[in-house]
A = this chain, B = another copy of it.
């Protein structure tokens, strides 16, 4: 078992100085053709690779990006990671992942672990608990320490950083308009509590669409789910709530769900109650994943393009990281970007 070889060892073996080896390997013209060749050959033989950690310490940058997301077992988030990883790798960065599990404490701890030198910047989506408590000091702190953050999907305006979001209001509006156009008269929405920004905005889009078409919103048709994490218990609870919704509103003929799981649940419950889809009930969902595509009936969706979001976020972050190097942290007023990724409607079997 040969341990990884270092400059020092090469230097000793070849009886030259460390700096000579370093220069030779970086092809410095300072070094004679001869020694260069010799050193490079030796290094190749022993499969020398510079130690990343040493480089990170020296350069005060790690070339790695920290990702903090609420959970990873979720198509949207894993798509985003795929996108981030794609451009990160292309641009020479690694990706280190922390999961907050929707918990404020875990989010804080994870960020602290990574912020102490392990990474150059964050890409993150905020935990529900954090959104609820509205305690964002850990974000402002890391930003104040000069570590840039890019937020995506679940963002909060007051934090000065780049953001990548989808136009939730517009997407929701489009979905509901589709239902209206398709003849739905009593459209329910299954959404999250308002402190989750995407839920709130999609609810807003729903309301706006109704208003635009002079339809009165009925509060009984608006079901706001309290969901922390989707455990089995929560799923049972979800089903009950949805069943309640249908039972007390027999005339529902359209459902707009803010995520796939809600949509699938709505369909399941509706079927149990004997409703035919899409004839008796049409369903559209905001979505990110396989569920809508592969379930039967497949579900018409407003798709979020998670991978595109990830790619954009990574590019924003890396651009900022590499820009910092140039302008010697002068006190120019930093200006942050909020990029909106377009959604689009994919029609499948759950609508007419």
User: Looking at the complex, which one of B81, B89, B96 makes contact with A96 (CB distance below 8 Å)?
Assistant: B96
Bound complex: CA A269 to CA B290 (Å): 17
Instruction: Flag if B99 contacts A114 (CB, 8 Å).
Output: no
What is the 8 Å Cβ interface bit string for chain A, positions 64-105, against chain B (1 contact, 0 not)? 100000011111001101100100010000111111000000
Query: Residues of A at under 8 Å CB distance from B?
Result: 1-4, 47, 49-54, 56-57, 62, 64, 71-75, 78-79, 81-82, 85, 89, 94-99, 110, 112-118, 141, 144-146, 261, 264-265, 267-268, 271, 290-291, 294-296, 329
26 pairs of residues in contact across A and B, judged by CB atoms under 8 Å: A1-B145, A3-B145, A47-B141, A49-B112, A49-B116, A51-B116, A51-B117, A52-B117, A53-B62, A57-B57, A64-B96, A72-B72, A72-B82, A72-B85, A73-B78, A74-B78, A78-B78, A82-B99, A85-B99, A89-B98, A94-B113, A95-B96, A96-B97, A261-B290, A261-B294, A265-B294
Known contacts being A78-B72, A97-B97, A294-B261, is A117 close to B54, with CB within 8 Å?
Answer: yes
Bound complex: CA A294 to CA B89 (Å): 34
- The chain B residue with its CB closest to the CB of A296 is B296
Bound complex: CA A346 to CA B196 (Å): 34
- The chain B residue with its CB closest to the CB of A51 is B117
Taking CB atoms, residues of chain B closer than 8 Å to A294 are 261, 264-265, 268, 291, 295
Taking CB atoms, residues of chain B closer than 8 Å to A265 are 294
Instruction: Flag if B1 contacts A144 (CB, 8 Å).
Output: yes
Task: Name the distance in Å between A128's Cβ and chain B's nearest Cβ.
Answer: 17
Task: Name the distance in Å between A280's Cβ and chain B's nearest Cβ.
Answer: 15
> Given A1-B329, A3-B146, list of 11 further CB < 8 A pairs?
A52-B116, A52-B117, A53-B57, A53-B117, A54-B57, A73-B78, A78-B78, A85-B97, A267-B296, A271-B296, A291-B294
Which 8 A/B pairs are nearest by Cβ-Cβ distance? A51-B117, A53-B117, A52-B117, A96-B96, A295-B295, A49-B116, A73-B78, A264-B294
Instruction: Flag if A79 contacts B73 (CB, 8 Å).
Output: yes
Task: Name the distance in Å between A177's Cβ and chain B's nearest Cβ.
Answer: 27
Taking CB atoms, residues of chain B closer than 8 Å to A78 are 72-74, 78
Instruction: Flag if A85 contacts B98 (CB, 8 Å).
Output: yes
Taking CB atoms, residues of chain B closer than 8 Å to A73 are 75, 78-79, 82
Instruction: Flag if B114 contacts A94 (CB, 8 Å).
Output: yes
Taking CB atoms, residues of chain B closer than 8 Å to A110 are 89
Bound complex: CA A267 to CA B294 (Å): 10
- The chain B residue with its CB closest to the CB of A232 is B293
Instruction: Flag if A268 contacts B290 (CB, 8 Å).
Output: no
Instruction: Flag if A118 contacts B52 (CB, 8 Å).
Output: yes
Taking CB atoms, residues of chain B closer than 8 Å to A268 are 294, 296
